[in-house]
Chains A and B, each alone.
Chain A
């Protein structure tokens, strides 16, 4: 690669169950705010990479209506229909190609107020078989994944509750989070109702309205715009089998391969030693150990021990999701972009109460599919490298 790409700014909505305004206005205000941070206009953006999902928006080619509010009128624009982390990788790819110097990523969903998320998830199922039978859905597949990990490695229900409680406490330090509780205890989580065992309501992501915008630039341009860029040091993604009944659900093969690619690009050989903080898209609490282990941040099967010892706390050995992660807020399409944005906040020292001390390198993660079939990883660094 001849070029380097930096993130120079981020903006998020205050995620909520009902944002209370039309999508177009939400995006207009978000992007206007981000431009305002740097005193730039839409004419400073070379390419726009939007990220939303037409099923969720309820209209075909929904980016058409986002173009004008985000400032893409008569500009180069494209749309990724997946989690927002892929919009970030694609925008980075476009800048790396040398054709563009600046890119704006805008990812959003109104999953809190506008549609039924679990119904939309059903439309990801094989319509000739799984969707006909109705056994597999967003919750039952997650429960099978949780059981697989807990049976394999002996993680207890109480330890699963500890993960969720930690994320809810972290979310209370994040001004944009939706589901949060400053004094959440494992008992508080265990007091919520079972959905599919072993998953309870508070192990799950909240239905969220929200959006995230990220401003990316080539090295030269980044230095014009900010003294505090965060560099995209590496990225990778991988997809695995659709068939839940053919996968080892207790591990994430695709996250591991995605991380291998990202680490290779970033020159990271010892993630435990070299990564200071991780922001992980956890739709469900049990996914945190599965994904973090695939990211090489903890030993395989150590989820229970990590919870017991508090290793992933904000002041722990390997802070994971200081923002509260997916349990704090999970606007589809935007969730992975938010992980990148939260890493940006950490590395620029602007994470407030959730700030991890001396964070120099971070890893962000996003996912799609049942039991996280498709995963992407981005390594971010304060060093240009």
Chain B
């Protein structure tokens, strides 16, 4: 396979809860323009486009069709990828494969969500819609305080079961969730492309109401409008087109079964077990030539719709031992200045334009490696290898991308 690098990233100017001033395709075009600006490229330089967003959230089917002009796709190969929460990273991986295969040299991956125009919880509930309908027919209340928890599709309710299981197995306390939440929100305050940008204390988090124990409102991610574009290139092209690049040295995805969070048909798999994270990360590490991830990975960008997940993923992805993540948090190891800066960007937890959320992880890693971070959250130490993680499906699907400061060595 050929070596592939991210040579540039473009974000919409802001990620906010409601972009009232532009329509969907206009918003996407802002990130495309930013990617061109940041790389000094033009559409003529792009061989192919990959495109992804969360299915059905905006009530749009195959939106790449409407967006074709605005993403500068005319006369180009274009493919739409859609895997749920992981869509952003799946879309980047599609771009990666197109270059690694030798089919194309420069590929643009376009990911976005404009969540304000639809209803995300309704969209998510749609995952288990047929089952939810059975519940409705049996008189369950969808709208009451516990309705969402009962449905399982609404993500906070289902995530609370995961959080409970994680706390039980790891020995972490609910206060560790508060602490992780405060850390990430504070990180986000330094990131101009984050949505919730407020210096936040543990006390601030603890002052928010519980949604479904142990998860509080302050443990949950926002819904955002925004778009992120990454341009990837072959080794030869990357060297011509960019001074600084970040190499994609490992890619993987893994799925398990939908009973992981299917509270209605019966939850057969512990949703805190997350075997796919282990399988995908091991595969990606092997591809990247990383033998000891605990030592060799310098930073992590994790997909955390909920604050407990940052700790959980560090363990499931092999970046620390099971039950150690909260100890690392207590030691300050997860801070921007720490040994393993985790979600220096603020994570999905602070910015969540869903289709772009799993793209923002490798985009952040790439900019950290290139030392091109805008804002105050540049990791001070040299980042050689970074792990970007995506999570989605029905709690059971994981993607991993490893980014490095040097290309993958041929074996």
Contacts and interface: CB of A to CB of B under 8 A. Distances in A.
Interface in A74-105: 74-82, 86, 89-90, 93-94, 96-99
A364 to B, nearest CB: 16
Interface stretch (B72-80, B161-169, B337-345, B358-366): B72-80
Contact of B80 (A64, A81, A236): A81
A212 B82 CA distance: 19
Contacts of A258: 77
A94 B254 contact: no
A209 interface: no
Interface stretch (B225-233, B314-322, B389-397): B389-397
A53 to B, nearest CB: 7
Interface string A210-238: 00000000000000000000000000111
B84 A81 contact: no
A153 interface: no
A72 interface: yes
Contacts of B78: 237-239, 374
A60 B131 CA distance: 13
A254 interface: yes
B232 to A, nearest CB: 13
Interface size class of B (residues with CB under 8 A): 35 or more
Interface residues of A, number: 61
Contacts of B255: 64, 67, 72-77
A63 interface: yes
B100 A81 contact: no
A257 B82 contact: no
A253 to B, nearest CB: 8
Contacts of A99: 1, 97, 100, 251, 287
B58, B62, B393 pick with most chain A CB within 10 angstroms: B62
B69 interface: yes
Contacts of A124: 60-62, 65-66
B238 interface: no
B101 interface: yes
A77 B97 CA distance: 14
Contact of B79 (A80, A121, A253, A369): A80
A73 to B, nearest CB: 6
Nearest to B63: A124
A76 B126 CA distance: 24
Nearest to B55: A54
Contact of B74 (A68, A93, A120, A241): A241
Contacts of B136: none
Nearest to B1: A98
A61 B100 contact: no
Contacts of A238: 75-78
A49 B298 CA distance: 32
Contact of B56 (A54, A82, A237, A239): A54
Nearest to A24: B258
B90 interface: yes
B103 A96 contact: yes
8 contacts: A1-B101, A54-B82, A59-B126, A64-B84, A74-B275, A93-B97, A239-B74, A239-B78
Interface of B: 1, 23, 54-62, 64-69, 73-85, 90, 93-94, 96-98, 100-103, 123-124, 126-130, 251-258, 275-276, 279, 283, 287, 392-394, 396-397
Given A64-B127, A90-B79, 16 more contacts: A2-B102, A53-B62, A60-B54, A63-B83, A63-B393, A77-B253, A93-B98, A99-B1, A99-B251, A123-B60, A124-B61, A124-B65, A237-B78, A239-B76, A242-B65, A257-B75
